């Protein structure tokens, strides 16, 4: 290495990986983030947490020098992590901050790198199978792996992480035999078709979901209320729970209920993503599904949803599940009468997920983005709950 090259390396600003930043946040460290994206991008989606301080200041205002009003917001006794969309602009901003005397690094690959974090945690449940939850912190998407006696099923897989499901099933000595969606998702690109293609698993959709105009280039099976699928030594029971969509379906394995977007640990589903004009009617359908299909189940039923929001509180192991009886006690929406429920649900719904119409069209098989385009489409929060705030007491 020449002297000039050595000097260039020495002057390169420090970087941190998305996994390292996530570990710092999870460990309770007081993290300070300078988000150098535009204000609109920041408002739509950013890293947050009880121990995270974040300041948004667009990078194009930081190219020449650090404005005085930003100096007043930056700590001089803590590390500052700068991030942007893809990692390039943040490195330049971090370099300028370092020249100004700050302890600083920048996030490799920016928010696109953050969106690649995917976490696996086995659930402590009384089921004759390994049941694992996958968490995508960037969007709040949850998926599940059920493995028993050499066979496995994946519920609500994401296209971007197909390889991880295969690897984890293989580590458990299982072959994936089913790839199931609870409904036509509006916030992420489904991995059902890719997983079925790569593993020879059977793709499974609720019949009512397929009736929305599914046009896949591979064979798939449909299920209706009461149908069962065998995976090793366990049965997956199908429970129709329309409301969020006409095809919304829960899957039950032992005491674990994969509720999709019908019921979350902090809220219930929004009813407007399939047909905004029919939101009130869908809310009534959701009420019936909750009252007739889900709430009669035993209190110890473990609700395992397809999403979590910033308002959700994780369990001690980082997972997002809750016993049904506990949710009934803490979520007033589950004990309202029908008219009160409907008005409550439609009164203050959050913004619709970004690109949701294109995502729905892709998940119906009507559009065919490549892997990178698909990944770009689903960046951002899920917004599938009826409220941005927790409905739980």
Q: How many CB atoms lie within 10 A of CB 76?
A: 10
d(CA 50, CA 182): 32
Q: Which residues pair with 95 in a beta bridge?
A: none
What's the token pair of residue 308? 């979590």
**Strand, helix or coil at 322?**
strand
Contact of 116 with 131, CB cutoff 8 Å: no
- CA-based end-to-end distance of the chain: 62
- CB contact at 8 A, 133 and 319: yes
Unique residue bearing structure tokens 């099976």: 221
Q: Which residues contact 139 (CB under 8 A, 6 or more apart)?
A: 115, 187, 188, 378, 379, 380, 381, 382
Q: Are 351 and 45 in contact (CB under 8 A)?
A: no
Q: How far apart are CA 376 and CA 145, in angstroms?
A: 25
- Do residues 249 and 305 lie in contact, with contact meaning Cβ atoms separated by under 8 Å? no
Cα distances (angstroms) measured from residue 109 to each of 2, 41, 154: 28, 16, 28
HSE-up of residue 123 (Cα within 13 Å, Cβ side):
33
β-bridge pairing 202-206 and 221-223? parallel
Q: Cα–Cα distance between 57 and 74 in angstroms, integer?
A: 11
| Closest C-alpha to 113, from 25, 18, 24 | 18
Give the separation between CA 279 and CA 244, rounded to whole angstroms. 9
User: Coil, strand or helix: which one is 82?
Assistant: strand
Greatest Cα pair distance, the chain, in angstroms, is: 76
What positions carry a catalytic annotation? 84
Three-class secondary structure of residue 221 per DSSP: strand
């Amino acid at each position: 290495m020449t002297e000039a090259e050595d000097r260039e390396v020495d002057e390169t600003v420090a970087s941190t990986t998305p996994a390292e930043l996530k570990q710092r946040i999870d460990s309770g460290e007081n993290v300070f983030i300078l988000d150098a994206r535009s204000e609109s991008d920041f408002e739509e989606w950013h890293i947050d947490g009880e121990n995270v301080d974040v300041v948004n200041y667009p990078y194009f205002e930081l190219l020449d020098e650090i404005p005085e009003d930003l100096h007043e917001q930056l700590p001089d006794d803590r590390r500052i992590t700068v991030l942007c969309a893809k990692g390039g602009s943040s490195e330049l901003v971090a370099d300028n901050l370092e020249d100004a005397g700050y302890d600083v690094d920048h996030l490799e690959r920016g928010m696109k790198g953050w969106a690649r974090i995917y976490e696996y945690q086995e659930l402590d449940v009384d089921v004759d199978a390994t049941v694992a939850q996958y968490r995508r912190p960037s969007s709040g998407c949850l998926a599940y792996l059920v493995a028993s006696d050499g066979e496995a099923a994946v519920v609500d897989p994401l296209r971007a992480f197909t390889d991880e499901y295969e690897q984890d099933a293989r580590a458990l000595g299982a072959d994936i035999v089913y790839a199931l969606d609870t409904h036509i998702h509006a916030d992420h690109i489904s991995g059902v078709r890719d997983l079925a293609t790569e593993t020879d698993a059977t793709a499974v959709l609720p019949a009512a979901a397929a009736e929305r105009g599914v046009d896949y280039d591979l064979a798939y099976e449909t299920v209706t209320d009461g149908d069962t699928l065998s995976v090793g030594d366990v049965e997956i029971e199908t429970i129709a729970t329309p409301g969020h969509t006409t095809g919304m379906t829960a899957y039950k394995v032992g005491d674990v209920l994969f509720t999709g977007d019908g019921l979350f640990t902090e809220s219930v589903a929004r009813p407007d993503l399939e047909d905004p004009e029919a939101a009130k009617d869908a809310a009534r359908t959701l009420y019936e599904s909750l009252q007739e299909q889900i709430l009669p189940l035993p209190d110890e039923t473990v609700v395992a949803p397809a999403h979590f929001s910033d308002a959700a509180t994780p369990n001690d192991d980082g997972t997002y599940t809750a016993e049904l009886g506990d949710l009934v006690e803490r979520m007033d929406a589950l004990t309202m009468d029908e008219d009160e429920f409907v008005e409550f649900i439609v009164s203050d719904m959050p913004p619709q997920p970004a690109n949701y119409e294109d995502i729905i069209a892709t998940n119906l098989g009507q559009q065919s983005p490549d892997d990178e385009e698909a990944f770009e489409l689903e960046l951002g929060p899920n917004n599938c709950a009826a409220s941005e705030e927790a409905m739980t007491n």
